[in-house]
Amino acid sequence: MSTAYRKVVRPVLYRLGRGDAEIAHEQTLHGLRRLSKVPGAVPVLASTYGALPAGVDRTVFGLRFPSPVGLAAGMDKNGVALPAWRALGFGFVEVGTVTALPQPGNEKPRLFRLVDSEAVINRMGFNNLGSEALAKRLAAYGDLGYPLGVSIGKSKVTPLADAVEDYVTSLRRLHAYGDYFAVNVSSPNTPGLRELQDAGHLRELLTALKAEAVGKPVLVKIAPDLTESAIDELLGVCTDVGIAGIIATNTTIGRSGLAPSDEWLATETGGLSGRPLSEISAKTVAHIHAATGGALPIIGVGGILEPDDALRLFDAGASLVQLYTGLIYRGPGLVRTTNRRLASDSRQGELS
């Protein structure tokens, strides 16, 4: 973590809105959005954070990624600051989760920092402007310089019986703008959503989305709370349907790994992310890699707060990784140091 971020930026962000984490999130996005519109500002930012070392690019499910380090869904749901993310060193970005219908999400407060645990609890509830609004925004962008993923979910008011059409509506609207599509059936913050991970529901949903995607890769984002047998059943469906990859993992409803000083927050409902997910995400990635013989690409996400955390996911079998909570605690320097570490390890591998 850079000294400037630790001593100057982070304390200011943590005080915004009397410590309301969501206000800090909104202000960060607002600042990056404004920066994206200032002539010359993005290149200046890119000169500090965005220069990628040689040897970190890779091609996964038919797409070339300038770096395997991406921004996870949830940070920029409505795609308001897309030019700035590449300037911060990200090799790809996933917008959303977006739903067919615009929705405000759950009641506030709904985002909580657990500082001593380097974790976050959120119960945002897919707050977003809807897939139609996102399509209009994405249409206004030119070439972003990186693959854009779109995470799609179910509108809260849509019954599970109508979930397939809800997802398909969003994919249809956004098909021209997403380079890949992530099917979010694992958020704990939409009632009943995780039932869509069951084999019967999942097969119907993925079959419809695969048919609608017309050549665009479709991935499935899974929960870290599934048993190995449930993961194996899910993987069987994904293989049968021809899904391009797995994103492992979403947030957890578990509360293990919290510092004693943060345990009073454990009663807050929502998904837990950050340091407590480091081990479970790596184990899940390793299980998927072994179960599929490495044939199904994996985006590893959860608990990356140091470059070593990213390397652990790559060693477990991930092809790409995503950050979110790590940015809150380490700042944009985490992206830069992770890219440099990957390049260094790649060179060491070539020399050995």
- The residues annotated as belonging to the active site are 187
- Asked if 155 contacts 166 with a C-beta cutoff of 8 angstroms, the reply is yes
Per the DSSP assignment, residues forming a β-bridge with 285 are none
Residue labelled with tokens 């010359």: 40
Query: Could you report how far apart the first and last alpha carbons of the chain are, in Å?
Result: 30
- CA 343 to chain CA mean position, Å: 22
CA proximity to 161, closest of 207, 182, 192, 206:
192
- Amino acid found at 48: T
What are the two backbone dihedrals, phi and then psi, of residue 150, each rounded to the nearest 5 degrees? -125, 120
Q: Can you tell me the distance from the alpha carbon of 128 to that of 184, in angstroms, rounded to the nearest whole number?
A: 14
Q: Are residues 222 and 234 in contact, defined by beta-carbon separation less than 8 angstroms?
A: yes
- CA proximity to 55, closest of 65, 43, 45: 65
CA-closest candidate to residue 156, choices 82, 102, 221, 208 = 102
